[in-house]
Structure 1
Amino acid sequence: MSRNTVRNILFVMCDQLRWDYLSCAGHPHLQTPHIDALAARGVRFDRAYCQSPICGPSRMSFYTGRFMFSHGAGWNNYPLRVDEWTLGDYLRPLGMRVALAGKTHMKEDTDGMARLGLDPVSEHGVLVSECGFEPYERDDGLHPDRSADPDLAYNRFLRQKGYRGDNPWSSHANSTESDAGETLDGWYWGHSNGAARVRDEDSETPYMTDRAIDFITEMGDKPWCLHLSYIKPHWPYIAPEPYASMYGSEHILPVQRNAREEAEAHPVYAAFMRHKDSMLFRRPEARETIVPAYMGLIKQIDDQFGRLMKELERLGRLDDTMIVFTSDHGDYLGDHWLGEKDLFHEASVRIPLIVYDPRPSADATRGTVSEALVEAIDLVPTFVEAAGGAVPVHRLEGRSLQPLLDGRDVVWRTYAISESDYSGRDARADLNLAPMDARCWMLRTDRWKYVLHETFRPQLYDLEADPGEFVDLGADPACEGIRAKLKEMLFDWFRNRRLRVTISDEEIVRRTGGADRQGILIGYWKPSDP
């Protein structure tokens, strides 16, 4: 391996893992020693933000290195345009095999592919359909009985292990049993305190870890980028033993909400409070049932991550592999009177991000915690630079983390951005909004969090005086100047999106003055003119 490049990249993502549910981030009861060990080898970015707090658009930003505003895939199953470049498009020309084991939540642009005559089962068509990844094993982890896929690889695996039924993903891996032996469907969150009807080693997280190890072993000394995308701790909140009974109510962090939030709720916030998931978390037993299962699923991820790291060490890959551990978004778990995600409180929009760079240049920062405001879109340029490529800044909107990994003194960004298109959520219908009006944007600085709504008044939080985000200053006359300043910053961000993606700044500079050189003479009087 060259001292200036990495040979391999392991890009690990969890689904719906909160930034603060790791022991290295300060959780007092949930011990995650293997993830903590990665943080000790690399840098933990404590203020990392996803570009949209919902699975699909967040992942499309991770994979394109572009904001949701630019790539346009604003919610789950909103297709990513066929012309968008993704991680594989950047890394394959650098000699890497770029593969997926797990979830992407990618929806292909079938209309765009048809317009171009691109066969979806051709080699290139598959890559376009799979967000640029070779699907070593694609599994988005949402397989209820009404959409059962008997040929799903994981279902075949479970049947080979003796679990019966067309869809053992649903009936075994994500269901539990009553004392009387009755199968209890894990889609009902009230069943989350039961153990999954599969052995630990047969559940989803160990299975996908096995597939990752299979891929890495098969690759030998050939360079690769593997996106290991765990389905958990996303609901259904069902964990196998021993994880199902590992945590109890005594391990649950106090809920973060207060009466003022509800009494003075912003209209959009109030509409999300009326969602079924939010109303469910008002029930006294909800958090005591769900959160221990959520914690158990995270503990299982940590154990499996430790197994994967041990295998990388055995194969000699820790010396030439960049490793990233992150999540697509968080989970409210009842905080702020909310369930699920979508909005911009820290529980939802802030993500864990740990980066291990094996190169000597990163030795000075090992085991450190960075307070820089970093974004999910920073990973693609980081990977391109680490693999020895030139970062196409006319297309990528993120910024390589390499200077921060190397400990260089650089001027970093002063704010982070996230976006929400809730046109597909019940809140939009509740508020009687047109889809284009169901949008909002977050701008987060060191001190302030500003949220601009398309239809309603803005929101504003002073994170210095109110780190819990309980007091919305969006209508406070005393903060009018602050809101105006942050709105102008957001307007500046809008004006600087990378929408000219087909030609680089360097090429434009090279072409400047080219008309004269080609004999296209504009504004000359006679041949004697200079």
Structure 2
Amino acid sequence: MQHTTSILFCGLHLIAFAAAGPAAHAAESEPIKNVLMIVSDDLKASVLGCYGDPQCETPNIDRLAARGMLFRRAYCQGTWCLPSRKSFMYSKYQGASQKTLGGFLQDHGYYSARVGKIFHMRVPGDIIDGTNGEDVEACWTERFNSPGREAHTPGDYACLNQNIFTDAPENRQSTRMPHRMFVTVQYDGSGDDQPDAKSAAKSIELLREHADQPFFLAVGFVRPHYPMVAPRDYFNQYSLSSIETPHVPENDLDDIPAAGLRGTRNGNNTIGQYPENQKRMWQGYYATVTFMDRQVGRILDELDRLGLANSTAIVFTSDHGYHLGEHTLWQKKNFHEEVTRVPLIVSVPGLASGETDAIVELVDIYPTVAELLGLAAPNDLDGVSLVSVLNDPTRSVRDSALSLDRIKSGWEFADRGDRWAYMRYVDGSEELYDMDSDPNQYRNLAKLPEYAAHLEASRRRMDEKIKRHELKR
């Protein structure tokens, strides 16, 4: 199945790139003085070539993985944009630490710049308006927005759950409109007018301007977040006949509690009536991932051209994953693997490339950056440094990863361990999956008596973590 991570594929893919690279990379490295952090939006790990997808073209992210450490089991803490981005910029499960990552680095003499979306911005609203959203100004020495026309980009517009196809500029689903999540636009153009292309161009400009001083450059791309807008050539790379939608077993939802089915799914949205348009959703997602990947490549190329690659640590990740019809679910804000598992690649000059099965969290980015720069991280962070794993991919720093979601009546939690994935909702309902035998999470074991011991152990592990970090429930 093309949407299931293939570790063998990934390993061979990276070995091909890395055979001669790491030793030379290590020999030429200098002390780490800069950090480049690239954050994609709504990007599931399983869609990337380096994570095993044989169809989606991501050559630039793949080459970054080939020279860095690829974390196969990295998990977000918030299941949608705002809480996730806040969590990794403050390294807190809930609330905020005393300093953002950017503010901390400014205190130590670093130029700190944001380009695009790092803290939460409404997409498309803040992108169309060119506004800052929930950004924290104190995090940055300078900050730059990358506006775009989004769904209003002239071209072939589709609202796929409404089965609408038109090139007319009127009546397009956009900011705060109910069907905006199913919009694609493909058009004839270079892509230079798109927000992510503008973010790449500004980032290149800043690299040139600040090459001689220590910097923290955070680049936030908005694709593949809806609306999925890209030049037509990117859509043409993925014919509908080549796309297979995810396999959904019969009665797959029967053992998922109602709390786990709150979001959009085929049964409560008209996207379920249009199987061919579900393929078009995958086509739009692939197209915008590949377009975003091209912008990553532009920045990496400039980093190399300026001679900064040997003194710059690079972090690539996403705020959370995304459902594209798995379990008949769409979008985000639930605890299944397609949402909570995210790509995480950390490339550090002087350290060998590789892959690791260590379980890590996005809150770990902040203390990792601090240690790589030789700085003592603030003592109020929830994350742990991953430098030991970067030095030895067989090391572990935690036994599970916690994800959280807040609803009106309280907090809900998921805990992803080495084998068992456990989810608990405010109403007390639960899910438990054996990730060794059931990686696609088709069979909820929470109510089966023969798994009672594993359920209890998972409950205990989660409760201990909630207590240790004094989390609200």
If the length of structure 2 is used for normalisation, what is the TM-score?
0.82
Pairwise mapping of residues 75-114 of structure 1 onto structure 2 (< 5 A)? 84-106=98-120
The answer to whether the aligner puts 1:226 opposite 2:213 as a matched pair is no
Structure 2 partner of 1:34: 60
Structure 2: 5+ residue stretches without partners: 1-27, 122-132, 159-163
Do 1:282 and 1:334's aligned partners in 2 also have CA atoms closer than 8 Å? no
The answer to whether the aligner puts 1:202 opposite 2:174 as a matched pair is no
The 1-side partners of 2:156 and 2:138 are apart by 30
Q: Write the deviation string for residues 354-410 of structure 1: whole angstroms up to 9, x where unpaired.
A: 11001x2x13xx1x1110001101100011111221123x31111111111112764
Aligned letter for 1:296? A
The 2-side partners of 1:471 and 1:448 are apart by 12
Deviation at 1:291, TM superposition (A): 1.1
The answer to whether the aligner puts 1:460 opposite 2:467 as a matched pair is no
Aligned letter for 2:88? F
Aligned letter for 1:138? N
Structure 2 partner of 1:418: 403
The answer to whether the aligner puts 1:136 opposite 2:143 as a matched pair is yes
Structure 2 partner of 1:328: 319
Pairwise mapping of residues 56-455 of structure 1 onto structure 2 (< 5 A)? 56-68=82-94, 71=95, 84-106=98-120, 129-130=136-137, 132-138=139-145, 154=147, 168-172=149-153, 176=157, 181-183=167-169, 185=172, 187=174, 188=179, 192=183, 194-196=185-187, 199-272=190-263, 280-281=271-272, 283-358=274-349, 360=350, 362-363=351-352, 366=353, 368-392=354-378, 394-407=379-392, 410-421=395-406, 423=407, 435-437=408-410, 439-455=411-427
The 1-side partners of 2:183 and 2:120 are apart by 28
The 1-side partners of 2:433 and 2:362 are apart by 22
Do 2:64 and 2:345's aligned partners in 1 also have CA atoms closer than 8 Å? yes
The 2-side partners of 1:386 and 1:293 are apart by 37
1:250 partner SS: helix
Identity %: 28
Alignment RMSD, CA only?
2.8
Q: Max radius of gyration: which structure?
A: 1
Q: Write the deviation string for residues 203-232 of structure 1: whole angstroms up to 9, x where unpaired.
A: 122111001111111113111001100011
Structure 1 partner of 2:3: none
1:226 partner SS: strand
If the length of structure 1 is used for normalisation, what is the TM-score?
0.74
Rate the CA distance shift 1:179–1:315 in 2: closer, same or farther, 3 A. Answer: same
Structure 2 partner of 1:47: 73
The 2-side partners of 1:42 and 1:49 are apart by 18
Deviation at 1:89, TM superposition (A): 2.4
The 2-side partners of 1:333 and 1:278 are apart by 13
The 2-side partners of 1:480 and 1:234 are apart by 39
Aligned letter for 1:486? S
Do 2:47 and 2:53's aligned partners in 1 also have CA atoms closer than 8 Å? yes
The 2-side partners of 1:399 and 1:282 are apart by 45
Do 2:118 and 2:219's aligned partners in 1 also have CA atoms closer than 8 Å? no
The 2-side partners of 1:238 and 1:84 are apart by 38
The 2-side partners of 1:191 and 1:52 are apart by 22
Do 2:183 and 2:226's aligned partners in 1 also have CA atoms closer than 8 Å? no
Deviation at 1:483, TM superposition (A): 1.3
Q: Write the deviation string for residues 19-54 of structure 1: whole angstroms up to 9, x where unpaired.
A: 011111111111211111111111100110001110
The 1-side partners of 2:282 and 2:265 are apart by 21
Deviation at 1:285, TM superposition (A): 2.5
Rate the CA distance shift 1:103–1:180 in 2: closer, same or farther, 3 A. Answer: closer
Deviation at 1:305, TM superposition (A): 1.3
The 2-side partners of 1:84 and 1:369 are apart by 33
Moved more, 301-310 or 19-28: 301-310
Q: How many residues align?
A: 423
